[in-house]
Amino acid sequence: MTRRGVDRAVTLAILPFAIAAPFLWPDYMTFLTFIWIMIVLALTWDVLGGQMGYNSFGNILFFGIGVYATTIVQIGLFADVGAYTSAYGVETISLSRHEFLIGLAVGLAVAPLLAVAAAALLGSGLLGLRGQYFAIGTLGLGIAGGELAAAWGWIGGSFGVQVPVFPGDVLERRLLFYFLAFALAAATFLTLKRLYGGRFGLALNAIRDDEDKAEAMGLYTTRYKTVAWCIVAFFLGIAGGLVGQINGYIEPREVAFAGASFGIWMVLMAILGGKGTIWGPVIGAILFYLMKEFFWQQFFGWQRVALGLLIVVIVVFFPIGIIGWLKQRFPERFGHKVDEQARIAPDPAKGAPP
C-alpha cells in the first residue's frame, strides 16, 4: 500500500471508532475527550516546534485566552459579568438550554478570534527574531497571561469564574463536549495535513532548515511565521474554550494559563511522538495521556518531577521521537529512495549527466 493509502485507511478507521467510543465506554468519556484535546495541543505545538524549528513555550497563552473568552462571552450575553464574578460563585445564573448553547457557540467563535489577534500582535514583534530569542521571549507569555488574568477583577481575578451550569443531564453534557472535542481534533488534523502537503508546509520546513536561504529564494519568512502562529492560536483558542467548559470552573494559573501542566505536556507529547511529522504528535499525545492516566498515581506526588525527568530524557536521548525513529529506520517507507530510472527520458541533445 502506498503511504497515502495507509494514511487514508487509518484516518477512515478512526472515524467509526471515534463515533462509537463514547457509547461503548461511557465511563471513559471524559478521558477520551481529553485525548482529543491533547491531540490538538500536541499538533499545534508541532507547527512551530517541529515543522518550523521554533521552540514556543508560550502557546498556552492562546489556550488561556480561549478559556476565558468562551465562558465570559457565554455569561456576558445573558448576565452582567462584573456582578457575576464579584459574587464569587455564590450567585449562579441558570441559562436555558437554548441560551447555554447560543452562548457557547458565540463564545467558541469569539475565543479563536481573540487568540488569533493576540498571536498576530505578539508574532509581528517576536517572530522577527531568530529561534533562540523567540524561544525565551515566549517563556514568560503563559505566566504573564496568568498574572494579568489574576489581577483583572472583572473576569474574576485570582478567584476565577464559575462556568454556567449545563441545563441537562450529565451524560448529555459529556456527549456534547466529547463530540466538540473530536470535531476540533479532526479539524485541526485535517487542516494541518492539508497545509503541510502544500506550499505552507514547504515554507515552514524551509524556515526550519535554513531561514536565510529561504529569504534569499524570495520567501517572506516573517509573514509565514506569523500566519503559522495565528493558525496555532486559532485551534488552541477553541481547545481552551472547551477545556474551561468541561472543567466547570476557571482559575487563572492552574486551569487557564496552565503552563505547568498543559503547557509542558504539549511540548513533551509532540517530541515523544516525533516532531515535524503529522502523525507523531497524535501518537505522542495518545501515548502520553494513557501513561499519565494509568501510571500517574504510582508516583505519589512526584508526578511533576517525573514529568521534568521525562522531558530531559526524551529530548536528550530520543529527540527524533517515535515517527522520527521509524523514518530513520525505514527511509524507503517514507519515500526517500533512489529512483531506479535515472532520467525522465533519454535526450541526446541534453548531453551526459556529470
Under rule CB under 8 A, residue 344 binds other proteins? yes
Give me the residue label for grid cell 467563535: 109
Which residues in 252-281 contact other proteins (CB under 8 A)? Answer: 264, 267, 271, 276
The C-alpha atoms of residue 315 and residue 332 are separated, in whole angstroms, by 26
Question: Which one of 24-32, 76-84, 191-199, 233-241 is the stretch in contact with other proteins (CB under 8 A)?
Answer: 191-199
Stretch that binds other proteins, among 62-70, 97-105, 197-205, 289-297 (CB under 8 A): 197-205
Shortest Cβ 295–other proteins spacing (Å): 16
> Is residue 213 a contact point for other proteins (CB under 8 A)?
yes
Query: With the C-alpha atoms ordered 327, 319, 140, 71, is the resulting torsion angle positive or negative?
Result: positive
Closest to 228 (Cα-Cα) out of 107, 69, 53, 70: 53
DSSP assignment, residue 275?
T
| CA distance readout (Å), 352 to 225, 233, 343, 348 | 42, 51, 11, 8
Compute the distance between CA of residue 320 and CA of residue 271 in angstroms, rounded to an integer: 7
Q: What is the DSSP letter of 163?
A: P
Q: Per-residue x/- mask for other proteins, residues 136 to 175, rule CB under 8 A?
A: xx-xxx-xx--xx--x------------------------
Residue 336 as a binder of other proteins (CB under 8 A): the answer is yes
Question: Are 274 and 284 a contacting pair, CB within 8 Å?
Answer: yes
Of the residues 307, 321, 322, 323, which one makes contact with other proteins according to CB under 8 A: 307
Question: Of residues 10, 13, 20, 305, which one binds other proteins by CB under 8 A?
Answer: 305
By the rule CB under 8 A, 210 interacts with other proteins: yes
Residue 223 is a binding residue for other proteins (CB under 8 A): yes
Binder among 171, 308, 330, 333 for other proteins (CB under 8 A): 308
| Least Cβ distance, residue 20 to other proteins (angstroms) | 32
Helix (H, G, I), strand (E, B) or coil at 268: helix
**Which of 319, 325, 330, 333 forms a contact with other proteins (CB under 8 A)?**
319
Gap between the Cα atoms of 142 and 304, Å rounded: 18
